[in-house]
Chain A
Amino acid sequence: MSTFLGMPAAREGAGPSPQAAPGTLSGIGRPEDPLHWGASFPDAAKAALENGQLRRNLGKATSTIRTKRARVVGEVPDWEALRDAGSAVKTDVLARLPELLEELERNVTARGGVVHWARDAVEANRIVADLVRAKGADEVVKVKSMATQEIGLNEALAEEGIAAVETDLAELIVQLADDMPSHILVPAIHRNRTEIRDIFLERMADAPPDLTDVPRELAMAARSHLRRKFLSAKVAISGANFAVADTGTLAVVESEGNGRMCLTLPETLITVMGIEKLIPTFDDLEVFLQLLPRSSTGERMNPYTSMWTGVTPGDGPQEFHLVLLDNGRTKVLADEAGRSALHCIRCSACLNVCPVYERVGGHAYGSVYPGPIGAILTPQLTGEKSDLPYASTLCGACYEVCPVKIDIPSILVELRAREVSLSGASPETADRVWKAAMKAASFAMADGGRFRRAARVPRLLRAISRNGVIRRLPFPGSLWTRSRDLMEPPQQTFHDWWAEREERR
């Protein structure tokens, strides 16, 4: 069934997508490659659009957070100057990344931390698993972290018999449901509270059997579940929002306090961090601690900011390991046109304003990095052919809100050019059709005379128009007319009209 516009109908009250297993499973599961999984974007988007519950959840959540963000950003008189500063710091970091990373390593080491370097996901997972095993632990608590999502750390640890417990509420929901995050900041944005209650009842062993879907009750259930984990864990694993090169300080910002529990209670702390998360000096934090919370949660200040520098005898974890992760980042860095994607501070403002993300949600992007930033970051990190650069109308809303001024639309265009050259190497039918059409259009549009003649061709369609519109065209025109009428072409092009007018004069 379809709506009057021919789009997939939202199924009223429908829960998870059609392929989902009963109950609370999303059907996404835990893919082998967290950076690249699932169907093509157009197909995955189609499935998501058919899920009415998902569309309502997303629309409500993104519009709420959009409004909140706009309000608190509007309060800051020097917001544009802050964006410029944030962008400038990140440009500087990328320009001298090796030097700054070595400075960080020196300072972390000098303060009692141990620095490890990981070229890819396999190496990073190996390092972490070995460290946890050396402590004799079979359970670790985790602070929400995109880097560890990206490398599939939890799954890798599970294979070693180590249970990694996510302690961020939304991340816990996603983990319990054997799901993938649908948003960078709000991983369970695609779930409503009824679904969350069902997930807890079904999959959280110590959930109260009479649990309702009142948010406070849900939070309390998670809280008591997690409290036991915090108090027993010997090892914690975190990501990092920032790493300060000149002091060796790591920083995590969060809203629930679970992060602080993980960062302070266990004996051993392992932090996995993408190498672009650096900032040169402690003073630079001033810029980012203003930009990040307003852009991400729409708050003036994030509730918990935890910082640690090496180890402090008798206080906090007595062993600290920092794993510096490349996993494709140096490849992105080498690309002048796309490298500013590494400015990203994972605030997710671009997701919340993106009209495409708002309709289809995160899973359609088939990567732990969804939305506009994912559409430029994922193809660059993997280096593979991808349809994500086309998952945008280039409307520019993402660039407008980006706190570190990543020109996402321009990078999307760059990546589309790369896709075109990649498709030349292994031509699929669709690619060949596009190429032929673009070549023909290029020929017709490179000369006024040729264009004048070509522009008369559409008027042939007047033969099939009714009441001034065309309702049905054969493929590929059907991609248009399945949901939209086409206005009938004019009898006379502008070129011809002008020429006639000139003659009359």
Chain B
Amino acid sequence: MRLALAATCIGDAMFPQAPRAVVTLLERLGHEVVFPPAQACCGQMHVNTGYLAEAVPVVQNHVRTFAPVADGEWDAVVVPSGSCTGSIRHQQAMVLERAGLRAEARTATAVAERTYELSELLVDVLGVTDVGAWFPHRVTYHPTCHSLRMLGVGDKPERLLRAVEGLELAPLAEAEGCCGFGGTFSLKNSDTSTAMLADKVANVVDTGAEVVTAGDWSCLMHIGGGLSRGGTGVRPMHLAEILASTRESPVVPGAGQAVAR
């Protein structure tokens, strides 16, 4: 398949190891990956903070950039983020509609219908759960709120992880509880966010895992920030990084390195 990658703004600027791992993984599975360079951000931060007018040009740019998927130029768009996929699916058309941009809103809907979060793409579209990965570490999985509730990815990420050779999946207590990130919530309500993070960090540490993984680098940035401040030694890694790891080209926890060349 010919797949367009939406790297997400945070993945692009702060955690490029995740979109790089997506490239590695999908190419290994025999697919062609395209990165439309005009992309920037899905607009979620602006929408969720209430800046709808400021979100419009950001959303327009995303929709314009990925519109070719609606014309069949690519088979699908893949996003290594549950919350960005959620915003693309549930917010972009609304933002454009409210700005009176009807035609662009229709395009947004068409793009959204062909846009998938990574675990959805792998399991539902490409039909694989065993991606041939090798990652001999004890790992715990945090189901991010938007993956879980906005997208309903269910147990797809866990099915992918269970199929990884050498990986030991440690159950996380109160897994479905929010980590307290919430985008600008982490700043506007810093104290409450920190209280939620403290509980998440404690639960992650209790698993005895070396690595905590999720489908969203934003939540991982939050959880990872707490794990680091607490001196716990537990490393945050994106699901894609684990799935990209193989015997031939292993990914080391915490090295932040990607394997694609």
Query: Does A458 interact with chain B (Cβ within 8 Å)?
Result: yes
Closest to B7 in A: A494
Q: Which A residues are in CB contact (< 8 Å) with B36?
A: 448
28 contacts between A and B (CB under 8 A): A6-B229, A41-B189, A42-B192, A45-B189, A390-B184, A393-B185, A393-B196, A394-B183, A395-B182, A396-B145, A413-B91, A417-B50, A417-B52, A443-B57, A445-B40, A446-B40, A448-B36, A448-B38, A452-B37, A458-B14, A482-B190, A483-B229, A487-B224, A487-B256, A490-B15, A493-B13, A497-B16, A501-B260
Query: Does B166 interact with chain A (Cβ within 8 Å)?
Result: no
Number of interface residues of B (CB under 8 A): 76
A476 CA / B186 CA spacing, docked (Å): 12
Q: Interface digits, B5-25 against A, CB 8 Å rule (1 contact, 0 not)?
A: 001010111111101100000
Q: Judging by beta carbons under 8 Å apart, are B46 and A4 in contact?
A: no
Given known pairs A359-B196, A397-B145, A446-B60, the reply for A484 and B222 (CB within 8 Å) is yes
Q: Judging by beta carbons under 8 Å apart, are A483 and B39 in contact?
A: no
Q: Which B residues are in CB contact (< 8 Å) with A419?
A: 50
Q: Which B residues are in CB contact (< 8 Å) with A45?
A: 189, 191-192
Q: Judging by beta carbons under 8 Å apart, are A5 and B16 in contact?
A: no
Q: Judging by beta carbons under 8 Å apart, are A487 and B228 in contact?
A: yes
A359 CA / B12 CA spacing, docked (Å): 33
A493 CA / B7 CA spacing, docked (Å): 10
A198 CA / B205 CA spacing, docked (Å): 39
Query: Does B133 interact with chain A (Cβ within 8 Å)?
Result: no
Q: Judging by beta carbons under 8 Å apart, are A391 and B189 in contact?
A: yes
Q: Judging by beta carbons under 8 Å apart, are A360 and B192 in contact?
A: yes
A435 CA / B184 CA spacing, docked (Å): 13
Given known pairs A49-B192, A420-B50, A438-B49, the reply for A5 and B149 (CB within 8 Å) is no
CB distance from B71 to the nearest CB of A (A): 19
B110-118, B173-181, B208-216, B242-250: which lies at the A interface?
A: B173-181
Q: Judging by beta carbons under 8 Å apart, are A355 and B54 in contact?
A: no
Contact of A489 among B13, B55, B60, B225 (CB under 8 A): B13
Closest to A488 in B: B256
Q: Judging by beta carbons under 8 Å apart, are B149 and A356 in contact?
A: no
Give A449-469 interface residues, CB cut-off 8 Å to B: 449-452, 454-456, 458, 468-469
CB distance from B34 to the nearest CB of A (A): 10
Q: Judging by beta carbons under 8 Å apart, are A485 and B228 in contact?
A: yes
Contact of B48 among A355, A394, A468, A486 (CB under 8 A): A394
Q: Which B residues are in CB contact (< 8 Å) with A6?
A: 194, 229
Q: Which of A356, A451, A483, A495 has the most CB of B within 10 A?
A: A483
Q: Which A residues are in CB contact (< 8 Å) with B47?
A: 413
Contact of B225 among A395, A468, A484 (CB under 8 A): A484
What are the 4 tightest A-B residue pairs by CB atom distance, in nearest-first order?
A: A393-B182, A416-B50, A484-B225, A451-B40
CB distance from A377 to the nearest CB of B (A): 18
Give B221-240 interface residues, CB cut-off 8 Å to A: 221-222, 224-226, 228-231
Query: Does A442 interact with chain B (Cβ within 8 Å)?
Result: yes
A405 CA / B222 CA spacing, docked (Å): 30
**Known interface pairs A389-B50, A410-B90, A448-B39; 12 further A-B residue pairs with C-beta atoms within 8 A, sorted by A's residue number:** A4-B229, A6-B229, A394-B185, A396-B145, A400-B149, A413-B91, A456-B13, A479-B187, A485-B228, A490-B256, A494-B11, A494-B35
Contact of B54 among A3, A392, A439 (CB under 8 A): A439
Closest to A494 in B: B16
CB distance from B184 to the nearest CB of A (A): 8
Q: Which A residues are in CB contact (< 8 Å) with B149?
A: 395-397, 399-400
Given known pairs A448-B65, A490-B16, the reply for A390 and B9 (CB within 8 Å) is no
CB distance from B32 to the nearest CB of A (A): 13
Closest to A43 in B: B191
Q: Judging by beta carbons under 8 Å apart, are B13 and A393 in contact?
A: no
Query: Does A307 interact with chain B (Cβ within 8 Å)?
Result: no
Q: Judging by beta carbons under 8 Å apart, are B189 and A42 in contact?
A: yes
Q: Interface digits, A383-418 against B, CB 8 Å rule (1 contact, 0 not)?
A: 000010111111111011000000000100101111
Q: Which of A387, A391, A446, A486 has the most CB of B within 10 A?
A: A446
A495 CA / B23 CA spacing, docked (Å): 13
Query: Does B61 interact with chain A (Cβ within 8 Å)?
Result: yes
Given known pairs A5-B194, A359-B195, A441-B45, the reply for A480 and B50 (CB within 8 Å) is no
A349 CA / B157 CA spacing, docked (Å): 28
CB distance from B29 to the nearest CB of A (A): 18
Q: Which B residues are in CB contact (< 8 Å) with A451?
A: 9, 12, 39-41
CB distance from B143 to the nearest CB of A (A): 11
Q: Judging by beta carbons under 8 Å apart, are A499 and B37 in contact?
A: yes
Q: How many of chain A's residues touch chain B, expressed as a range?
A: 35 or more
Query: Does B172 interact with chain A (Cβ within 8 Å)?
Result: no
Query: Does A7 interact with chain B (Cβ within 8 Å)?
Result: yes
CB distance from B66 to the nearest CB of A (A): 12
Query: Does A8 interact with chain B (Cβ within 8 Å)?
Result: yes
Q: Which A residues are in CB contact (< 8 Å) with B189?
A: 41-42, 45, 356, 390-391
Interface secondary structure of A, over-half rule: helix
Q: Which of A442, A458, A468, A493 has the most CB of B within 10 A?
A: A442
Closest to B50 in A: A416
Q: Interface digits, B144-178 against A, CB 8 Å rule (1 contact, 0 not)?
A: 01101110000000000000000000000000111
A444 CA / B9 CA spacing, docked (Å): 11
Query: Does B139 interact with chain A (Cβ within 8 Å)?
Result: no
Q: Which A residues are in CB contact (< 8 Å) with B57?
A: 442-443, 446
Q: Which B residues are in CB contact (< 8 Å) with A442?
A: 46, 51, 54-55, 57-58
Q: Which A residues are in CB contact (< 8 Å) with B43?
A: 445
Query: Does A447 interact with chain B (Cβ within 8 Å)?
Result: yes
CB distance from A316 to the nearest CB of B (A): 46
A114 CA / B225 CA spacing, docked (Å): 62
Query: Does B198 interact with chain A (Cβ within 8 Å)?
Result: yes
A375 CA / B152 CA spacing, docked (Å): 25
CB distance from B101 to the nearest CB of A (A): 14
A445 CA / B145 CA spacing, docked (Å): 24
Q: Which B residues are in CB contact (< 8 Å) with A441?
A: 45-46, 54
Q: Judging by beta carbons under 8 Å apart, are B229 and A485 in contact?
A: yes
A495 CA / B39 CA spacing, docked (Å): 9
Query: Does A64 interact with chain B (Cβ within 8 Å)?
Result: no
Q: Which B residues are in CB contact (< 8 Å) with A49?
A: 191-192, 195
Given known pairs A445-B41, A484-B225, A484-B229, the reply for A476 and B187 (CB within 8 Å) is yes
CB distance from B11 to the nearest CB of A (A): 6
Q: Judging by beta carbons under 8 Å apart, are B177 and A355 in contact?
A: yes
A468 CA / B255 CA spacing, docked (Å): 10
Q: Judging by beta carbons under 8 Å apart, are A5 and B192 in contact?
A: no
Given known pairs A355-B180, A416-B49, A494-B19, the reply for A393 and B145 (CB within 8 Å) is yes
Q: Which of A445, A450, A494, A495 has the most CB of B within 10 A?
A: A494
Q: Which of A397, A455, A486 has the most CB of B within 10 A?
A: A455
Q: Which B residues are in CB contact (< 8 Å) with A454?
A: 13
Closest to A461 in B: B14
Closest to B220 in A: A487
